[in-house]
Structure 1
Amino acid sequence: MKLYALVFLMFSLLLHADTVFAQPEPSITEPRQIIFSIKSANDEEINHVLSSANNVLKFYGPENVQMRIVAYYHGIKALLKTNKDIALRVKALMLLDVEFYACGNTMRTKNIKKEELLEDTLIVTAGIVEITERVKEGWIYIVP
């Protein structure tokens, strides 16, 4: 039985591999530029995006990442002051220099005022256009 356990352990160690960085490796001068979107009002889906963003920051180090999270459609809920639990997570990510953008078109459609958004939220005319333009510049668009 001990032999099987040893073989299993050795096999498990072989399956683990370190990530190989693409060049140039992420650094303060060459940060990974990553953009996420939040388009759902579902708390579980919002938290999944925020957790994914946090995982990326932990892996690379916040100093090696330039990150934006764009909220549009029902996902604008993530940037409202009234959503206390999610607001705490958003503010924590803001402390790590993650930029949060609200879609101006969504705000007009849903009659949301700037004062209803979390402090330091930026507003763009159209969330989808913001994502499109960053991808065109070479940003990595992650959809968890």
Structure 2
Amino acid sequence: MIKYILVLLLSTSFVIGDTEFAEPAPSIVEPRKVVLSIKSADDEEINHVLSSANNVLKFYGPENVNMRIVAYYHGIRALLKKEKAIAARIDAMMQVNVEFVACGNTMRTKGIKEDELVDGTEIVTAGIVEMIERVKEGWVNIVP
């Protein structure tokens, strides 16, 4: 009997609620605007950013999200074609309209040429400035 009561109490103490959307609710007309950055060359950190981005896409639906992922500093490694496993993930995310952006300053500093980047990558003058401008436009900066 005590076990039954304990199980009942434990099972009712964990209430899972739905996320309440802020207005306007996400839609094709009013998508959530999300910008993330990759600044580390560490595989675990790169994959964490990509997984977090993927979780956002799954939750809202890719049609309800505008997403840009900016790579700068050591994180530029994530956008190199030669990093095949990461490049495959990036290519898949590009298929659902996630935009990937490379920092031109980092490319110059590291001697990276445009043709070394995953096809479809946009290059901007400064990755950190890209982040500032998107936030200023109302995009949400997610730091996983």
TM-score (norm 2): 0.97
Counterpart of 1:23? Answer: 23
In the alignment, the residues of structure 2 paired with residue 95 and residue 130 of structure 1 have an alpha-carbon distance, to the nearest angstrom, of 22
Partner in structure 1 of residue 75 of structure 2: 75
For 2:109 and 2:17, the matched residues in 1 are separated by: 47
Q: Could you tell me which residue of structure 2 aligns to residue 5 of structure 1?
A: 7
- 2:84 and 2:102 mapped to 1: Cα distance? 17
Post-superposition Cα deviations, 1:43-96, rounded to whole Å, max 9, x if no partner, equal 000000000000000000000000000000000000000101111111111011
Q: Residue 33 of structure 1 aligns with which residue?
A: 33
Counterpart amino acid of residue 22 in structure 1: A
Distance 2:57 2:140 in 1: 14
Does the residue aligned with 1:138 lie in a helix, a strand or coil?
A: coil
Number of residues of Structure 1 aligned to a counterpart in Structure 2: 142
User: Amino acid of the residue matched to residue 30 of structure 1?
Assistant: E
* Residue 18 (structure 1) shift: 1.2
Partners of 1:86 and 1:2 lie apart in 2 by: 49
- Consecutive unaligned residues of structure 1, counting only runs of 5 or more, are none
> Pairwise CA RMSD of aligned residues?
0.6
Task: Point out 4+ residue stretches in structure 1 off by more than 2 angstroms.
Answer: none
Question: How much does 1:143 deviate?
Answer: 0.6
